[in-house]
Structure 1
């Protein structure tokens, strides 16, 4: 049976992130968005990806320095997606302008791939720059069969957007009687794109557009922005509803902690094994290897302890009170979005203030504790850096073998299997000699 699910997306024109990294990073830690999208990031190589947002996100970005846009500063786009969602950047779709393409995959009993494009057109928008961007998007859409969502600052504020009826989410363009306007509306019509953002700025204009081939996109002005708002660009809360089968929940299982293994006992158990006796009955090499692995597995189970993975949903410095307050805030937010009750709105504002205040307090204590511990143990400094950057030993997002690309754990393992199979040479499958000193290093 199908159920209704959705992506919770946040969009903001940040008007610079360099001076707001701490503010936005802390805000993102208590947010419940699946995807965070930003334009006008004004970033460069001096800012690391992990400094920008919570470690629960994979961050993709394109700074102005990698484009042909005139001007060394300003511009830039960013796309951050939860690590629970499979995603990859699609660089060969990108033009010489300021656009970033990311493919997001919903995996479960049914799979669905959605292509996102984040773009920024600096003012004043010329016919040449607009045509170049639209031509590239049209070319991508001709080669992509799935749904597509295009978000960004188009700076086409002269176009008015009207909603024909209250039950239709998409808006109709008006007042576009110029070359820029006609070209843009023709582009939308040719590619079957609809525009969904109705939130106007203080000048009663809409500069940030949300175009999509999807039909069920609802947008509201953000109740709790991640950062200070630019009057020209209201922040947006976007719900993308997906009619798909229930997603499979990836459970975290306990794993072996080889750092705490009793290797003295491991060596003793290995020395007690008569390998000639155990393996000589097998004339097939695959069966012999399977028996070898079975023996090792028994030894590992008896000598290596298991540990449960740490819950990475919240940073280590989050207190129980903060987590509880955060959960209560989310309940109020859901209730307010459902009923639009003014009392819920007031309660939500108070809850947001409490979450923000307690988060700042907990973070200050975390910094002070780190500073004190560094004096006693300098290694704590590098632990802080690794935690801040979210460094871990997880599988990389993507791996490549020849012309094949893998971006899930299973597919990456299959690439390794293909490589091993290509270099494997089967030996004579007759009786296998087992020298008495085949494991001298363990004894």
Structure 2
């Protein structure tokens, strides 16, 4: 019996028609051959799709969703596929993780990971279950605590991606709870709390495995189109009513092999949304849960306005200093200009600025280490080819481009997995000869070395690197006591100090003192807070003695 539930609509998913089919040359030999032939490629075998806009970044927001049916046996696989993927947000359900597995093992330093593992607080079962949201470290993100967050397998987070603020919720409702109305109401309450934390222009995105096979979701072709065409259960009705009340609409139409929708995508109705099946899944596919790629429209104007321009530039390679040229430059600087400055801090700024300007103009940048450490020239070239076809596939949905994207991605992944396996074997073999290399690899799996994208202190959140530094400075300043030593403490400390040891009024720094102190410095090439390495003071002490004397003596006045 067919019935309609009026007033419930979903986001319209309209696929753009394919553009005129591009002329694609025949597939290279390495794509048509099965097996790990990519490792035997030469540069002449590679076909690189070149176009005028290939180097432009994707302007949309790209989200990936998959029910992975457990990650414990797929740790290396998920690490390799996510370490260089181009998704802004990743939802994974049925992760099957616990506290013994670090998020660092799964995503490295590429993502901020927010997890809700299965526990006695949210499930009667001890294994499987769980959900996580991974957000690229390119974007500012943070977890959102909710009232009902602990009683269900769900996690909420916020992220600012390309000018838009996303309010995200990942959820897994197991089959034994999917028909429990109280469970559905608790999840709706969490989503309602999530919506209340945003504004009208924010995007609310809820992805998860709801296990509601009795609901047959319709595509919306007009505002009066009903959400479903089959009478759902009481729990299904509660889900539809709750999401409709919050103005969230179900957008996924990628059905599984049985023609059902178990994985649902709810999103705010004001924003353009497209949901497709993934061409290159991150992990093996369960036929009950096809992986999804979700694209959202970005706000290019706000993206430019909110860009963080305070990041540090690449460090200079101070080991390349030509001390002969630097010494000649310092000897020709008119240091007598320091006499016209009344403030010691301004004198120090003038001094450091002269040296750092010369260093910036005459030194190369430090070469960035090859990342990942098992990378080769061929792997990097295959990655560029894969990314080029991915950009084309995201713009045009033609079958030829889809086939080329899948083939290039498969070849890149095969070679990447083989190189990573060989790298791990080398690390294990070299344990005795190079234990430092071994522990570096181990620490990379259990520690995060990247700078956090957001810092929070006393309810204040940072929105840029500069604000994060200010919050750290505020925190460290709070642990220092501002107590001034009393006269009694000063007298006690000076009991063993000989009288008339030093007279500040007559104390004078001489150039010979500067040269003697500089010669004792360790010739380090690491720059200090002034941006000048100690090796500069040590090698150029004769040229720097006079200006430093002027600055030090001014500070004693």
In the superposition, the TM-score normalised over structure 2's length comes to: 0.65
Matched residue, 1:57: 111
Distance 1:201 1:402, change over 3 A: same
Specify the structure having the higher radius of gyration (Cα). 2
* 1:310 paired residue among 345, 351, 368: 368
Matched residue, 2:246: 191
Structure 2 residue 442 is the aligned partner of structure 1 residue 385: yes
Matched residue, 2:136: 82
Matched residue, 1:130: 184
Structure 2 residue 176 is the aligned partner of structure 1 residue 121: no
Distance 1:311 1:236, change over 3 A: farther
Task: Report the Cα offset of residue 86 of structure 1.
Answer: 1.5
Task: Report the Cα offset of residue 246 of structure 1.
Answer: 7.2
Distance 1:405 1:243, change over 3 A: closer
Matched residue, 2:149: 95
Separation of aligned partners in 2, 1:362 and 1:141: 45
Distance 1:381 1:302, change over 3 A: farther
The secondary structure found in structure 2 opposite 1:183 is: helix
Task: Please show how residues 385-424 of structure 1 align to structure 2 within 5 Å.
Answer: 385-389=442-446, 391-392=448-449, 394-406=450-462, 408-416=464-472, 418=474
Contact persistence 1:395–1:409 (CA under 8 A): no
The secondary structure found in structure 1 opposite 2:61 is: strand
Count of matched residue pairs: 415
Deviation string 1:285-311 (CA, Å, 9 cap, x unpaired) is: xx4323224434555677897643627
The secondary structure found in structure 2 opposite 1:16 is: coil
5+ residue gaps in structure 1? none
Deviation string 1:381-401 (CA, Å, 9 cap, x unpaired) is: 112223445742x43344343
5+ residue gaps in structure 2? 1-56, 485-503, 520-557
Distance 1:194 1:143, change over 3 A: same
Task: Report the Cα offset of residue 356 of structure 1.
Answer: 2.1
Stretch moving more, 328-337 or 143-152:
328-337
Separation of aligned partners in 2, 1:80 and 1:292: 45
Structure 2 residue 419 is the aligned partner of structure 1 residue 362: yes
Distance 1:122 1:407, change over 3 A: farther
CA RMSD of aligned residues (A): 3.8
Contact persistence 1:229–1:235 (CA under 8 A): yes
Distance 1:133 1:51, change over 3 A: same
Separation of aligned partners in 1, 2:148 and 2:507: 59
Deviation string 1:169-213 (CA, Å, 9 cap, x unpaired) is: x98333244321221121122111111100111221111111111
Task: Please show how residues 144-293 of structure 1 align to structure 2 within 5 Å.
Answer: 144-145=198-199, 146-165=202-221, 172-213=227-268, 214-245=270-301, 247-248=303-304, 253-256=313-316, 287-293=343-349
Separation of aligned partners in 2, 1:171 and 1:326: 44
The secondary structure found in structure 1 opposite 2:112 is: strand
Distance 1:231 1:184, change over 3 A: same
